[in-house]
């Protein structure tokens, strides 16, 4: 894209290929396309509260956060940000920040309390999302709805193990999705089926750090069950995509896809071919696992088949055809990305339930170089060049426009309210990652169409409870008062200026 590359000064071009890291890179406020969309993102369980209000059923997180001993720092999201009751205030807050898009998730158990295809719907829950969507549109904000953000109805887990039973879950998810399309699809024009299926597969069914914490139960099989869960999610996604395309898309004129998460991986020792190969293999195991079947309509990556053998489920001929038919319907690549890591090939044989490809991840390479400055969490480092490389990796592999559906960070020392509001680390992080997007678009030719910051406001961060604060709006969890942080105003102003200079 030679013409667009001319927007950069010579200093910009040099900076793109300089050895500077996130430690010393300057924010350049590089341009973005005039129609580039900026938004905020949340998920239902993390912000809504109203745990059992107005007929809502229990989700696996409603149960998991009340287990003894606690697996979530003794905290739960029964109230959280109380968005269920304060939604109008939150929509007005977004409007004041000039937000174009709001990506939210629908709580399955709020609209079908027991979750199943023969279970009754909850009209009060449906009314809440109708009111949310209408308010967003009235304020000029595009609603982007995620059908599933980790909160399976508890009743389905108790009935048949939820995602561990492919046929049952697939049928129930199809009915739930169809209900959402019927009730909300006349106004929602961008849909996401699943948020981060990798996390549901590995962290919920192998590591056990997220609900339902399945691997901690007696009789679980961590060698095969996480891959079965992934298989269920892939087929459920493809089924719902086809339902949308056949029954709703022509009249509703919307689009649908999935959201995949992934770090970028650099080799731990760039002089060793084993580590170079390990970095690529880790990307394939993390992203290609779901991306190849969904976006290419193919089997699992060859590297996974070779490494996992019979642990990885096989697609039937009918399932392969479904994947092939639906691959082209996915309209965009939804990318959740936070950081970059180093990957090192391990010399010893792997554990029999290894899921990494026998790879060790770290924030420091063989030369003692950190991948970037640490945020409020040790694993999340400021590494914008890795982000740019990931955008290129995904574009080369899947050739779909990319929407950044989540990106952000907690700040060091953010427990202090003054630090939280004057969040300089977050502003620099966001500025550098937006610069990386600009370079990917104008220099590399990668079509990135939008950026949704994680998150609109501080919320319940799963097993970490209320510790990490990712929000661009501070929430006092005692009073529930919302206070925009300086990063909120930074994003409002930077998108005005970046898009203005790109015309």
Q: Which of 196, 319, 385, 414 is catalytic?
A: 196
Range of the domain at 148: 2-501
φ, ψ for residue 312 (rounded to 5)?
-90, 125
> Is 406 labeled as catalytic in the residue annotation?
yes
SS (H, E, C) 389-450: HHHHHHHHHHCCCEEEEECCCCCCCCCCHHHHHCCHHHHHHHHHHHHHHHHHHHCCCCCEEE
Q: How far is residue 83's CA from residue 495's CA, in Å, rounded to a whole number?
A: 26
The verdict on whether 196 is a catalytic residue reads: yes
**Cα 498 to Cα 36: distance, rounded to the nearest angstrom:** 10
Contact 447, 385 (CB under 8 A): no
pTM of the model: 0.95
- Relative to beta strand 448-454, strand 340-345 is unpaired
Could you say which of 168, 266, 319, 406 is catalytic?
A: 406
Each residue's pLDDT, cut to its tens digit, for the chain (503 residues) gives 332 333 333 334 234 434 456 778 899 999 999 999 999 999 999 999 999 999 999 999 999 999 999 999 999 999 999 999 999 999 999 999 999 999 999 999 999 999 999 999 999 999 999 999 999 999 999 999 999 999 999 999 999 999 999 999 999 999 999 999 999 999 999 999 999 999 999 999 999 899 999 987 777 999 999 999 999 999 999 999 999 999 999 999 999 999 999 999 999 999 999 999 999 999 999 999 999 999 999 999 999 999 999 999 999 999 999 999 999 999 999 999 999 999 999 999 999 999 999 999 999 999 999 999 999 999 999 999 999 999 999 999 999 999 999 999 999 999 888 889 999 999 999 999 999 999 999 999 999 999 999 999 999 999 999 999 999 999 999 999 999 999 999 999 999 999 976 64
Cα–Cα dist 238/321, whole Å? 10
Q: Give the total number of structural domains in the chain.
A: 1
How many Å apart are CA 340 and CA 433, to the nearest integer? 12
> In this structure, what CATH number is given to the domain that contains residue 331?
3.20.20.80
């Amino acid at each position: 894209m030679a013409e667009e590359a001319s927007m950069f000064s010579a200093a910009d071009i040099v900076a793109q290929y300089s050895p500077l890291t996130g430690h010393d890179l300057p924010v350049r406020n590089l341009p973005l396309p005039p129609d580039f969309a900026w938004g905020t993102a949340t998920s239902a369980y993390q912000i809504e509260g109203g745990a059992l209000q107005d007929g809502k059923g229990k989700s696996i997180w409603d149960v998991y956060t009340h287990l003894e001993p606690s697996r979530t720092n003794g905290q739960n999201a029964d109230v959280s940000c109380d968005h269920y009751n304060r939604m109008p205030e939150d929509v007005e807050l977004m409007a004041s920040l000039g937000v174009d898009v709001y990506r939210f998730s629908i709580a399955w158990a709020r609209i079908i309390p027991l979750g199943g295809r023969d279970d009754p719907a909850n009209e009060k829950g449906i009314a809440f999302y109708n009111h949310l969507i209408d308010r967003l549109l009235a304020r000029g904000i595009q609603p982007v709805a995620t059908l599933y953000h980790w909160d399976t109805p508890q009743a389905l887990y108790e009935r048949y193990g939820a995602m561990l039973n492919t046929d049952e879950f697939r049928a129930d998810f199809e009915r739930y999705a169809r209900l959402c399309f019927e009730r909300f699809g006349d106004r929602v024009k961008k849909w996401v089926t699943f948020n981060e299926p990798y996390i549901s597969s590995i962290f919920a069914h192998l590591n056990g750090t997220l609900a339902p914490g399945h691997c901690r139960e007696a009789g679980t099989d961590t060698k095969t069950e996480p891959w079965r869960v992934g298989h269920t999610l892939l087929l459920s996604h493809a089924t719902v995509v086809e339902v949308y395309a056949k029954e709703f898309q022509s009249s509703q004129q919307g689009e649908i896809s999935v959201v995949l998460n992934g770090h970028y991986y650099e080799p731990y020792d760039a002089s060793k071919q084993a580590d170079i190969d390990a970095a690529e293999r880790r990307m394939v195991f993390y992203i290609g696992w779901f991306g190849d079947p969904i976006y290419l309509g193919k089997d699992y990556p060859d590297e996974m088949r070779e490494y996992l053998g019979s642990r990885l489920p096989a697609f039937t001929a009918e399932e392969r055809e479904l994947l092939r038919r639906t691959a082209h319907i996915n309209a965009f690549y939804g990318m959740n990305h936070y950081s970059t890591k180093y990957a090192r090939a391990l010399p010893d044989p792997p554990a029999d339930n290894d899921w990494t490809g026998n790879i060790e991840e770290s924030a420091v390479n063989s030369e003692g170089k950190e991948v970037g400055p640490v945020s409020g969490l040790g694993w999340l480092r400021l590494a914008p060049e890795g982000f740019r490389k990931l955008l290129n990796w995904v574009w080369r592999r899947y050739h779909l426009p990319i929407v950044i559906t989540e990106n952000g960070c907690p700040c060091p020392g953010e427990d202090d309210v003054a630090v939280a509001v004057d969040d300089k680390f977050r502003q620099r992080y966001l500025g550098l990652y937006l610069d990386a997007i600009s370079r990917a678009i104008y220099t590399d030719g990668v079509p990135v169409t939008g950026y949704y910051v994680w998150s609109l406001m501080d919320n319940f961060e799963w097993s970490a409870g209320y510790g990490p604060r990712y929000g661009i709006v501070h929430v006092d969890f005692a009073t529930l008062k919302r206070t925009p942080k300086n990063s909120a105003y930074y994003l409002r102003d930077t998108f005005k200026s970046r898009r203005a200079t790109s015309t």
